[in-house]
Homo-oligomer: A and B are copies of this chain.
Amino acid sequence: MQTIQTEPLTAAAFAPFGDVLEANGEFRLINDGMCQRHHDRAQLDFAAEVGPGNRPGISIFNAVPRALPYRFDLIERHPEGSQAFLPMTEHPFLVIVAEDCAAKPRAFLTNGAQGINLHRGTWHGVLTPLQAPGLFAVVDRIGASPNLEEYRYTQPWTVLA
């Protein structure tokens, strides 16, 4: 059995794949000091030069929770846009990514107060909440051209707790 151990999600470890969106580091105080604004944390990229009608949009995803150990054999990527997953809960979720199809995938576990933004073209697993509700706001490319590539591993991977 091919296995993957989960890692905590940190900006440094996740840098090859995308941005970690969380309330840490520098911020501006707004609203008379009542609110921290952690400004402009995601590298949004909707490839307007590739598909002229491409634009950003916000969709709501509601996914069935999975459990660890979690077995998968499919990864996917979106050549025409970055994709941000913003949990509408305080539950940690699983983030599977891969540098390329030949590399061993990595599995990050969020801390319950983190979203992610996958950079355009990053290989990743499907959305995998670990508790209900599996509710996320998603900022990704809206457009008419094809924007999904899939890769199936010859043998499945199992993510361990």
Q: Contact partner of A42 among B23, B57, B89, B126, CB < 8 A?
A: B57
Report the separation of the CA atoms of residues A2 and B64 in the bound assembly, to the nearest whole angstrom.
45
Within the complex, which residue of B35, B39, B113, B142 is in contact with A40, where a contact is CB–CB below 8 Å? B142
Contact A86 B137 (CB under 8 A): yes
Chain A residues within 8 Å of chain B by Cβ, number: 45
Whether B88 and A127, one on each chain, are in contact in the complex, defined by CB atoms closer than 8 angstroms, is no
Scan A84-101; emit 1 where CB is below 8 A from any B CB, else 0.
Answer: 101111100000000000
Tell me the A residues contacting B by CB distance below 8 Å: 21-23, 27, 30-32, 34-42, 44, 55-64, 84, 86-90, 113, 115, 117, 126-127, 133-135, 137-139, 142
Contacts of A86 in B (CB 8 A): 58, 86, 88, 137
A55 / chain B contacts, CB cutoff of 8 Å: 44
Contact residues of A: prevailing secondary structure: strand
Q: Which residues of B contact A137 (CB under 8 A)?
A: 21, 84, 86, 115, 137
Are B23 and A37 in contact, with the CB atoms below 8 A? Answer: no
Contacts of A58 in B (CB 8 A): 21, 40-42, 44, 84, 86, 115, 117, 139
3 shortest interchain CB distances as A-B pairs: A35-B63, A42-B58, A31-B126
